[in-house]
Protein backbone atom coordinates (compact mmCIF):
# COMPACT_ATOMS: atom_id res chain seq x y z
CA UNK A 1 0.00 0.00 0.00
CA UNK A 2 1.07 3.59 -0.63
CA UNK A 3 2.19 5.45 2.50
CA UNK A 4 -0.61 7.99 2.13
CA UNK A 5 -3.23 5.31 2.78
CA UNK A 6 -2.02 5.05 6.39
CA UNK A 7 -2.24 8.77 7.15
CA UNK A 8 -4.59 10.32 9.69
CA UNK A 9 -4.73 13.99 10.69
CA UNK A 10 -4.77 15.40 14.20
CA UNK A 11 -4.44 18.94 15.58
CA UNK A 12 -1.00 20.13 16.60
CA UNK A 13 -0.22 19.77 20.28
CA UNK A 14 1.40 22.68 22.17
CA UNK A 15 4.63 20.69 22.23
CA UNK A 16 4.53 20.30 18.44
CA UNK A 17 3.99 24.04 18.01
CA UNK A 18 6.99 24.71 20.26
CA UNK A 19 9.10 22.29 18.20
CA UNK A 20 8.03 23.94 14.93
CA UNK A 21 8.94 27.34 16.35
CA UNK A 22 12.40 26.11 17.36
CA UNK A 23 12.94 24.51 13.95
CA UNK A 24 11.98 27.71 12.15
CA UNK A 25 14.25 29.85 14.32
CA UNK A 26 17.20 27.56 13.58
CA UNK A 27 16.57 27.73 9.82
CA UNK A 28 15.92 31.40 9.12
CA UNK A 29 16.79 34.75 10.78
CA UNK A 30 13.23 36.13 10.51
CA UNK A 31 11.96 34.10 13.40
CA UNK A 32 8.54 35.01 14.78
CA UNK A 33 7.61 35.12 18.46
CA UNK A 34 6.17 31.87 19.76
CA UNK A 35 3.04 33.76 20.80
CA UNK A 36 2.42 34.81 17.19
CA UNK A 37 2.78 31.25 15.91
CA UNK A 38 0.39 30.07 18.61
CA UNK A 39 -2.09 32.76 17.51
CA UNK A 40 -1.81 31.57 13.90
CA UNK A 41 -2.52 27.99 14.88
CA UNK A 42 -5.45 29.05 17.08
CA UNK A 43 -6.91 31.20 14.28
CA UNK A 44 -6.99 28.35 11.75
CA UNK A 45 -6.58 25.03 13.58
CA UNK A 46 -7.97 23.12 10.58
CA UNK A 47 -4.87 24.15 8.57
CA UNK A 48 -2.35 23.25 11.28
CA UNK A 49 -2.04 19.50 11.31
CA UNK A 50 0.03 16.58 12.43
CA UNK A 51 0.09 13.70 9.96
CA UNK A 52 0.29 10.30 11.63
CA UNK A 53 0.59 6.71 10.48
CA UNK A 54 -0.49 4.77 13.55
CA UNK A 55 1.87 5.77 16.35
CA UNK A 56 4.38 7.33 13.93
CA UNK A 57 4.42 11.09 13.43
CA UNK A 58 5.12 11.40 9.71
CA UNK A 59 5.09 15.18 9.39
CA UNK A 60 3.71 18.51 10.52
CA UNK A 61 2.19 21.42 8.61
CA UNK A 62 1.15 24.97 9.50
CA UNK A 63 -0.77 27.16 7.05
CA UNK A 64 -3.14 30.11 7.12
CA UNK A 65 -6.26 30.99 5.08
CA UNK A 66 -5.43 34.61 4.35
CA UNK A 67 -7.97 37.11 3.11
CA UNK A 68 -7.14 37.73 -0.55
CA UNK A 69 -5.91 41.34 -0.10
CA UNK A 70 -3.46 40.19 2.59
CA UNK A 71 -2.41 37.19 0.50
CA UNK A 72 -1.68 39.40 -2.51
CA UNK A 73 0.28 41.82 -0.31
CA UNK A 74 2.30 38.87 0.94
CA UNK A 75 3.19 37.81 -2.59
CA UNK A 76 4.20 41.36 -3.48
CA UNK A 77 6.32 41.82 -0.38
CA UNK A 78 4.29 44.68 1.07
CA UNK A 79 3.27 42.33 3.89
CA UNK A 80 6.07 40.27 5.39
CA UNK A 81 5.35 36.74 6.53
CA UNK A 82 6.57 37.50 10.04
CA UNK A 83 4.13 40.44 10.22
CA UNK A 84 0.99 38.41 9.47
CA UNK A 85 -1.56 39.24 12.15
CA UNK A 86 -4.10 36.51 12.82
CA UNK A 87 -6.85 38.93 13.86
CA UNK A 88 -6.34 41.22 10.88
CA UNK A 89 -5.26 38.97 8.00
CA UNK A 90 -6.85 35.54 8.52
CA UNK A 91 -10.31 35.07 7.01
CA UNK A 92 -12.95 33.54 9.27
CA UNK A 93 -15.96 33.89 6.95
CA UNK A 94 -17.30 30.80 5.21
CA UNK A 95 -17.49 31.28 1.47
CA UNK A 96 -14.67 33.82 1.41
CA UNK A 97 -11.97 33.62 -1.25
CA UNK A 98 -8.61 33.03 0.43
CA UNK A 99 -5.00 32.39 -0.36
CA UNK A 100 -3.60 29.48 1.62
CA UNK A 101 -0.14 30.45 2.88
CA UNK A 102 2.09 27.57 3.95
CA UNK A 103 4.30 28.67 6.85
CA UNK A 104 5.85 25.34 7.77
CA UNK A 105 5.94 21.93 6.14
CA UNK A 106 8.21 19.23 7.53
CA UNK A 107 8.61 15.54 6.83
CA UNK A 108 9.86 13.66 9.90
CA UNK A 109 10.31 10.08 8.66
CA UNK A 110 11.48 8.46 5.44
CA UNK A 111 9.39 5.29 5.58
CA UNK A 112 5.91 4.23 6.66
CA UNK A 113 5.00 0.54 6.93
CA UNK A 114 7.78 -0.33 4.49
CA UNK A 115 6.67 2.30 1.98
CA UNK A 116 9.05 5.20 1.20
CA UNK A 117 7.55 8.59 2.04
CA UNK A 118 7.80 10.22 -1.38
CA UNK A 119 5.84 13.24 -2.54
CA UNK A 120 5.26 14.51 0.98
CA UNK A 121 5.07 18.17 -0.05
CA UNK A 122 2.47 17.43 -2.74
CA UNK A 123 0.38 15.37 -0.31
CA UNK A 124 0.59 18.02 2.41
CA UNK A 125 -0.37 20.89 0.09
CA UNK A 126 -3.28 18.87 -1.29
CA UNK A 127 -4.44 18.16 2.27
CA UNK A 128 -4.27 21.87 3.11
CA UNK A 129 -6.34 22.83 0.08
CA UNK A 130 -8.92 20.15 0.90
CA UNK A 131 -9.03 21.27 4.53
CA UNK A 132 -9.61 24.89 3.51
CA UNK A 133 -12.33 23.87 1.06
CA UNK A 134 -13.87 21.70 3.75
CA UNK A 135 -14.17 24.81 5.92
CA UNK A 136 -16.13 26.52 3.15
CA UNK A 137 -13.35 28.68 1.74
CA UNK A 138 -12.84 29.30 -1.98
CA UNK A 139 -9.10 28.78 -2.51
CA UNK A 140 -7.69 31.34 -4.94
CA UNK A 141 -4.13 30.07 -4.64
CA UNK A 142 -1.35 28.79 -2.40
CA UNK A 143 1.93 30.42 -1.37
CA UNK A 144 5.07 29.62 0.59
CA UNK A 145 8.21 31.54 1.55
CA UNK A 146 11.02 29.09 0.80
CA UNK A 147 14.28 29.50 2.70
CA UNK A 148 16.24 26.68 1.03
CA UNK A 149 16.95 25.63 -2.54
CA UNK A 150 15.48 22.22 -1.76
CA UNK A 151 12.26 23.86 -0.62
CA UNK A 152 12.09 26.08 -3.68
CA UNK A 153 12.59 23.13 -6.03
CA UNK A 154 9.94 21.10 -4.18
CA UNK A 155 7.35 23.82 -4.69
CA UNK A 156 8.39 24.38 -8.31
CA UNK A 157 7.60 20.71 -8.95
CA UNK A 158 4.10 21.40 -7.64
CA UNK A 159 3.54 24.19 -10.15
CA UNK A 160 4.59 27.12 -7.98
CA UNK A 161 6.55 30.05 -9.42
CA UNK A 162 8.43 32.92 -7.84
CA UNK A 163 6.29 35.98 -7.14
CA UNK A 164 9.39 38.12 -7.62
CA UNK A 165 9.66 38.95 -3.93
CA UNK A 166 12.82 37.91 -2.13
CA UNK A 167 14.20 38.47 1.36
CA UNK A 168 17.98 38.63 1.72
CA UNK A 169 19.66 38.71 5.10
CA UNK A 170 23.18 40.13 5.22
CA UNK A 171 25.83 40.43 7.88
CA UNK A 172 25.48 43.43 10.14
CA UNK A 173 27.85 46.35 9.44
CA UNK A 174 29.66 45.64 12.71
CA UNK A 175 30.10 42.00 11.76
CA UNK A 176 29.00 40.69 15.15
CA UNK A 177 25.42 41.94 15.42
CA UNK A 178 22.20 40.31 14.19
CA UNK A 179 21.71 39.87 10.45
CA UNK A 180 20.09 42.75 8.58
CA UNK A 181 17.16 42.30 6.18
CA UNK A 182 17.34 43.71 2.66
CA UNK A 183 14.11 43.20 0.69
CA UNK A 184 13.89 43.08 -3.08
CA UNK A 185 11.16 42.57 -5.62
CA UNK A 186 7.71 44.06 -6.31
CA UNK A 187 6.51 46.47 -3.67
CA UNK A 188 9.93 47.05 -2.12
CA UNK A 189 12.36 49.93 -2.28
CA UNK A 190 15.74 48.66 -3.29
CA UNK A 191 17.58 45.40 -3.01
CA UNK A 192 21.01 43.88 -2.94
CA UNK A 193 23.49 43.27 -5.72
CA UNK A 194 23.96 39.55 -5.13
CA UNK A 195 26.94 39.40 -7.46
CA UNK A 196 28.91 42.07 -5.61
CA UNK A 197 27.81 41.32 -2.06
CA UNK A 198 27.25 37.57 -2.04
CA UNK A 199 29.90 37.17 0.66
CA UNK A 200 27.68 39.25 2.95
CA UNK A 201 24.57 37.08 2.52
CA UNK A 202 23.72 34.81 5.46
CA UNK A 203 20.25 33.70 4.34
CA UNK A 204 17.64 34.36 1.69
CA UNK A 205 14.11 33.31 0.93
CA UNK A 206 11.85 33.51 -2.12
CA UNK A 207 8.09 33.79 -2.15
CA UNK A 208 6.57 31.02 -4.27
CA UNK A 209 2.97 31.24 -5.48
CA UNK A 210 0.56 28.97 -7.32
CA UNK A 211 -2.76 30.34 -8.51
CA UNK A 212 -5.70 27.98 -8.32
CA UNK A 213 -5.88 24.72 -6.39
CA UNK A 214 -3.60 22.49 -8.51
**So what's the pLDDT on residue 175?**
64
Residue-wise pLDDT for 103-117, tens only, equals 999 999 999 988 999
- Please give the torsion angle defined by the CA atoms of residues 168, 90, 210 and 169, in that order, rounded to the nearest 10 degrees: 0
Q: 99: part of which helix (H) or strand (E)? A: strand 97-107
pTM of the model: 0.88
List domains and CATH numbers for the chain. 3-211 (3.40.630.30)
183 pLDDT band (50/70/90 cuts)? low
Sign of the alpha-carbon torsion through 26, 71, 156, 39: positive
**So what's the pLDDT on residue 195?**
42
- Mean pLDDT score, 181-199: 53
- Mean pLDDT score, 180-192: 55
**Residue whose C-alpha is closest to residue 161's, from 142, 140, 176:** 142
Amino acid sequence: MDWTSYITRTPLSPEMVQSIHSSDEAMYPAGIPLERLEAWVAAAPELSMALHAGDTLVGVVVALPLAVPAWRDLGAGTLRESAIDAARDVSRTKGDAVGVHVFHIEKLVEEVQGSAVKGFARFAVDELVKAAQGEGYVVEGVSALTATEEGRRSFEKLGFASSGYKEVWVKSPSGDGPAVLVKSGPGTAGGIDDGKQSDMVVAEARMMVRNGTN
